[in-house]
Amino acid sequence: MKIRAAVLLAPHSSFAIEELELDEPRSNEVLVRIVATGICHTDLSVVEQDLPAPTPIVLGHEGAGVVERVGSDVRHVAAGDHVVLTFPSCGTCTKCVAGRAYFCEQILALALAGVRTDGSPTVRASDHPVCGCFFGQSSFATHALAYARNTVKVPREAPLEMLAPLGCGIQTGAGTVLNVLKPGGSDTIAVFGCGAVGLAAVMAARLSGCRTIIAVDRVDSRLELARDLGATHIVNTSQADALELMNSLGGADFAVEATGTSKLLETAVAGLKPFGGVCAMLGVPRAGSSVTFDHSHILTGRSILGITQGEADPQTFIPRLAQLFIEGRLPLEKLVRVYDLDQINEAAADSAAGRTVKPVLRMAR
């Protein structure tokens, strides 16, 4: 079928809107009419090739839309269902069988190869090769093919423009706090980076009842938004020292590093309490980045965790987040700005410059 899609023609270039041919769904696939798609830092990392993927390619991995057709083996969704698309997983490796699909051993092939695992394409252009299958969806398009395993049914009463970011960024930030760190009412948590992932962590910390929530960024508008969403303390790193504040509060029980910046990761770890302080690494660093820690600092009971997708089971966690949004307890509308598909380059630039926290592309009015 004919679709419109935003194609990244080459690394470090802008997106071009093209008409492509989308394949028919296979037995384990779902054809989704995309209503909206979030732009995530991971998409922009491909543009800059900090995350290598072949080009030309249709990116997009926070798709939300309406099911049009399903393959013969798909049972949990049907035509007309509202769905959010999330990360793919094989379902058969040791990690998937153990219920840890976020660590799927086939994730690189499923997410970044640009074709199905058998080498076949999902999208074609008339005059040049084009890759699809990005994170099992390539949802910067009017329609996408997803796998059954990364298609999640969500309530109809919530607007899909608001639910789209649940597929990656919000799931990652909120899941890190709610599924992994699990702070309590007496705990202090410091969140480094007030983009969508970091602010999702702030909202989740508030839901967890944390006594002290420190938000760290260098953009005043994002810090004020963090305060509105539950932060009790804010630090603009261009004006103040985050470590000094953490130490003045007795250190942090937990830290969430959502920028991928080595210096901030070092600060986050340095500000942990001994004997149980935990830092969760979420930010995507530039290739070859390194960090330095005091060996004895880690030996005194502090730990660092690399976390993927909030260690969530998307089939249960995304509907949970959607319900929190419906109840007004996860105010995603404060993060989201909606752009039309044709405005994708403006949306990407606004995201990179910090003018928009979570850009969401709307496929059609």
pLDDT in tens, 79-99: 999 999 999 999 999 999 999
Q: Residue 120: is its pLDDT beyond 60?
A: yes
Chain Cα centroid distance, residue 248? 32
Residues of the chain with CATH 3.90.180.10: 2-167+335-362
Reported as a pLDDT band with limits 50, 70 and 90, residue 293 is: confident
- Greatest Cα pair distance, the chain, in angstroms, is 62
The model's pTM: 0.95
Strands of the chain (E only): list them.
2-8, 15-22, 29-38, 57-58, 63-70, 82-85, 123-124, 143-147, 151-153, 188-192, 212-217, 233-236, 254-257, 278-281, 303-306, 336-340, 358-362
Structure tokens at 167: 């597929």
pLDDT tens sequence across 135-189: 999 999 999 999 999 999 999 999 999 999 999 999 999 999 999 999 999 999 9
Torsion over CA: 195, 198, 204, 210 (sign): negative
- Judged by DSSP in three states, 364 sits in coil
Q: Is 150 exposed, middle or buried (0-12, 13-18, 19+ CB in 10 A)?
A: buried
Q: Residue 364: is its pLDDT beyond 80?
A: no
Structural class in CATH, domain 171-308: alpha beta
Structure tokens at 1: 């079928």
Reported as a pLDDT band with limits 50, 70 and 90, residue 49 is: confident
Q: Which of 248, 250, 233, 252 is nearest to 189 (CA)?
A: 252
Query: Do residues 221 and 240 touch, judged by C-beta distance below 8 A?
Result: no
Please give the pLDDT value at position 365. 57
Residues of the chain with CATH 3.40.50.720: 171-308
Average pLDDT over residues 41-67: 94
Check if CATH label 3.40.630.30 holds for domain 2-167+335-362.
no
| Contact residues for 240 (Cβ-Cβ < 8 A; gap 6+) | none
